[in-house]
Structures are given as structure tokens and as C-alpha cells.
């Protein structure tokens, strides 16, 4: 089994703390673990403070960048973990709308949504992690 640790150039480099992406290859199968992606630019500046819809879009853009670095895309995602600061039920449609722009209806990944008290930076409202699987045969 081989493991590759990736920190794509167009995402913040937090390699002192964690890898953005870890790719595990076992035979012809690659399992891709993407760390929680948030609404920040490459300089770690929060994009869209106070705007859950904007932050969900940027977090999913960053997720797509992380997947691309491993040769994957959202169609390869089998699981999402979604963490929402001070989650309220009326926010579900905002998050769902952002997900529908990136994932195919009827083939949505398994997911867990959790309301949390805080995230890594004060202005962050959402964090999205993913697991993807690719068969290279």
C-alpha cells in the first residue's frame, strides 16, 4: 500500500499541521481523503464572512481543487462530512443548493451534517471534508 500526501499550490499550505489530501493506493484502487475545506483563498483569507451560501460555494470550489490534485472529481466522492457553525434547520436549503451544483442527483455521496460551536477561524461558517474512491483499471 502506498500513501501520497498532497498540498495543492492553489489551497492554503497548512502542511505543518495537516495535509490537504492523502491518497492511499491499494492495487488498482485509490482512496482519496480530503481534509475539511473552508471558504478561504490561497492566502488563508476568509471569503464571504457572514454569508453561508458564498462560503459553501467556496468550500466546494476548494474541495474540487483538492480532488483535482489527486486526479479525482466530485463524481468520485463517496462520502462527505459537513460541519456548520451554529447550524439552524433553515440553512439546509442553502447548503443543499450548493451541493446540487457540484454533485449529480441520484448519485449523491453519503454524508453527515453536524452543527458545531466553532471552526478553525472565527469567520468560518462551514467546513466540508470528503472521501473519494477511484479504480484505475
Predicted local distance difference test score (pLDDT) of residue 12: 87
pLDDT along the chain (137 residues), means of 10: 94 89 96 97 92 98 97 97 97 97 94 97 97 92
Predicted local distance difference test score (pLDDT) of residue 75: 96
What span, in angstroms and rounded, lies between the C-alpha atoms of 23 and 41?
A: 23
Predicted local distance difference test score (pLDDT) of residue 108: 95
What span, in angstroms and rounded, lies between the C-alpha atoms of 107 and 53?
A: 22
What span, in angstroms and rounded, lies between the C-alpha atoms of 38 and 56?
A: 8
Predicted local distance difference test score (pLDDT) of residue 136: 86
Predicted local distance difference test score (pLDDT) of residue 137: 73
Predicted local distance difference test score (pLDDT) of residue 123: 97
pTM recorded for the entire structure: 0.95
Domain ranges of the chain: 2-135
Contact 60, 80 (CB under 8 A): no
Written out in words, the top-level CATH class of the domain with range 2-135 is: alpha beta
Amino acid at each position: 500500500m502506498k500513501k501520497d500526501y498532497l498540498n495543492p499550490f492553489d489551497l492554503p499550505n497548512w502542511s505543518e499541521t495537516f495535509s490537504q489530501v492523502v491518497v492511499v493506493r491499494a492495487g488498482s484502487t485509490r482512496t482519496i481523503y480530503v481534509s475539511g475545506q473552508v471558504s478561504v483563498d490561497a492566502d488563508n483569507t476568509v471569503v464571504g464572512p457572514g454569508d453561508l451560501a458564498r462560503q459553501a460555494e467556496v468550500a466546494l470550489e476548494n474541495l474540487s481543487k483538492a480532488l483535482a490534485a489527486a486526479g479525482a472529481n466530485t463524481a468520485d466522492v463517496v462520502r462527505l462530512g459537513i460541519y456548520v457553525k451554529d447550524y439552524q434547520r433553515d440553512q439546509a436549503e442553502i447548503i443543499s443548493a450548493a451541493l446540487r451544483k457540484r454533485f449529480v442527483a441520484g448519485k449523491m455521496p453519503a454524508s453527515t451534517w453536524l452543527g458545531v460551536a466553532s471552526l478553525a477561524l472565527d469567520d468560518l461558517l462551514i467546513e466540508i471534508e470528503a472521501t473519494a474512491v477511484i479504480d484505475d483499471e
